[in-house]
Structure formats: structure tokens, C-alpha cells
Amino acid sequence: MILTKMILFKYMSFPEIISHFTFKTEGAYWNQNNFIPFKTILYYLFIADINTNIRIENLVGNIIGFMPLGFLLPIISKKFYSLKRVAFAAFFLSSTFEIIQIIFKFGSFDVDDLILNTVGGIAGCLPVFLFLRVYKKNQGFANRIAN
């Protein structure tokens, strides 16, 4: 729910959210889609003449926003003890949000958001994987001492 609010409905009041449930193809956001990988990332890093906070919000915010997903997936299910599966889940969820943005005009599709969100999911699972690795290693050590 928090990801949905953060990604789809950022900066929107409830009446604005309701008014955007349309399939019209005109509007300010419709022509701002980005299908070129790293275009927005490079723009924010090197070209944009904008406030640093806006850069951080757009780049780091996408990463941080998906870190809890990556953190929780391997805790919730052993199916996500794989980096590939966590990355796929983050990519799939991010793709869903981006497609919804195109259809309902809640913003614009940006392939760089897919990249950053997937990186966030991966970054979120790394501490869990590190913990599991150390835990298993210590369990083996404890078993050798006990025997």
C-alpha cells in the first residue's frame, strides 16, 4: 500500500486521484514517457540544473522505496532466497506500477524507474542474505564444537 501511494499517487489529493481514472491520451503527462535506459538517471546526475534535493528524491527515492520489498520477501518466503527471484519480483511490481501510470495517467512511464526500483529490491535483500549466510556458518561452527 505504501509503495502504491508513493509511486502512483505522489503529490495528488483524493479528488485528483479520482479524476485521473481516464483512458484519454491527451494531457501533460502523456508525452513525458521515457523508454531509453539511463536517460533520466544521467539527466539527474550530470545535466539537470535543479535542486539537489529533487535529484536525490528522484534517484535515491526510487531505490529506497523498494528496499523494504527486497528485505521482506526472503523473510516471508524461502522461495525468495534467490537474488534473481527478488530482482524479478521487484522488477515485476515496478513494471506494474509503471504500466498503471501510462494507462491511468498518474504520471509518466520511465524505464529508469524500473532500473532504480529493481536495484532497491536487490539492495534490500542483501542484508537478509548476509545474515542467513553468517547464521548458517555459525550454526555449522556450533555443531562442530558440540560434537
* Contact (Cβ atoms closer than 8 angstroms) between residue 69 and residue 121: yes
> Residue 139 pLDDT more than 90?
no
Q: What digits encode the pLDDT tens for the residues 79-135?
A: 999 999 999 999 999 999 999 988 888 888 999 999 999 999 999 999 999 999 999
Question: Is 109 part of a structural domain of the chain?
Answer: yes
Question: Is 131 part of a structural domain of the chain?
Answer: yes
| Average pLDDT, integer, range 66-86 | 97
Residues 6+ apart with CB under 8 A from 127: 71
Q: Total structural domains in the chain?
A: 1
24-30 contact pairs (CB < 8 A, 24+): 24/105, 27/105, 29/101, 29/105, 29/106, 29/107, 29/108, 30/105, 30/108
Question: Is 108 part of a structural domain of the chain?
Answer: yes
Question: Is 59 part of a structural domain of the chain?
Answer: yes
User: How far is the C-alpha of 117 from the C-alpha of 52, rounded, in Å?
Assistant: 20
Question: Is 99 part of a structural domain of the chain?
Answer: yes
Amino acid identity of residue 30, one-letter, is W
Q: What digits encode the pLDDT tens for the residues 11-58?
A: 556 555 555 554 454 544 445 899 999 999 999 999 888 888 998 999
Domain of 47? Answer: 37-146
Question: Is 16 part of a structural domain of the chain?
Answer: no
